Amino acid sequence: MIGVFDSGSGGLTVVRAIQKIAPQADILYLADTANFPYGSKENEEIKRLTLRAVACLRAEGATTIVVACNSVSATVIRPMMEWLGVRQCDVIEMVGPAVESLSRRGVKDAALMATSATIRSGIYTAVARRRGIMLREIAVPTLAGLIERDVSVQEIASVIRHALGKVPCSSSHILLGCTHYPLVMEIWLSAVKACGRPLTVIDPVVAVAEDAIRVHGAQGSGVLRFVFTGPSETVLHHAGDAFGLVNENPESVAKLPFVIASDCKERGD
């Protein structure tokens, strides 16, 4: 089973991408909603929560872990991999595949939009520099929270427009460095269109999903389970949207195989 983990709804974008590539893969999604947001937390706290979440996923039978949270990838997992000199393992993180997405497209200068924790780590720019890419870091501290809370399109669009105003003229691409951001891809695209600059928005989740399937394989019975550590309403809502259920039939979201794991905390500690 592939265990996918985020602080809230953002990792659903990675789950959706995995399912597109490998519909048979068994997936367990852990949303640490009791501790959302991660992006404004100190590294030590993010590390503690990560160890707990990974232990919970392992205890539930996950053999490959996808850290579908840039804040965790940038502050905990990627620095650890760099330190150990490990290129690939059964814990998939966001930074490597995201930079690879830019490299594959031949991008030389891009703007990274991300949480404060991700920007503070500086790991994206370091990894990108090694690939000959100039990454301009732009922290968007409130955006993931607004998306998680499902506030109005206008409110989200205004934060995105403000962030786009900080993109240097030399940058040709925007890298979405938080898994919450692709949940509002249409707002990104219309804000970019409105700003009248030829900017391309890169969503790295497909590259992350490809990595996960390369490591884990595509086998399974298509089981999808959800685990929450706290309030689950917004993730349920986003999950309904992400898997195309809510718009067709609001009741059908209740049929998704949700599990509320309030014991996750104790088990992982």
- Chain residue at closest Cβ approach to ligand DGL: 39
Give the Å distances, CA to CA, from 230 to 34, 126, 234, 259, 265. 4, 35, 11, 11, 10
Q: Is 264 a catalytic residue?
A: no
Tell me: does residue 13 bind ligand DGL (CB under 6 A): no
Tell me: does residue 178 bind ligand DGL (CB under 6 A): yes
Tell me: does residue 79 bind ligand DGL (CB under 6 A): no
State the nearest-atom distance from the C-beta of 166 to ligand DGL, in Å.
18
Q: DSSP strand E in the chain: where?
A: 2-6, 27-31, 64-67, 91-92, 109-114, 134-139, 173-176, 200-202, 224-228, 258-260
Sheet of 27-31, strands arranged across = 91-92, 64-67, 2-6, 27-31, 224-228, 258-260
Q: Is 56 a catalytic residue?
A: no
Tell me: does residue 69 bind ligand DGL (CB under 6 A): yes
Tell me: does residue 33 bind ligand DGL (CB under 6 A): no
3, 39, 96, 268: which one binds ligand DGL (CB under 6 A):
39
Report the C-alpha gap between 146 and 3 in whole angstroms: 25
State the nearest-atom distance from the C-beta of 8 to ligand DGL, in Å.
6
Binding site for ligand DGL (CB under 6 A): 6-8, 10, 36-39, 69-71, 115, 118, 144, 178-180
Active site residues: 69, 178
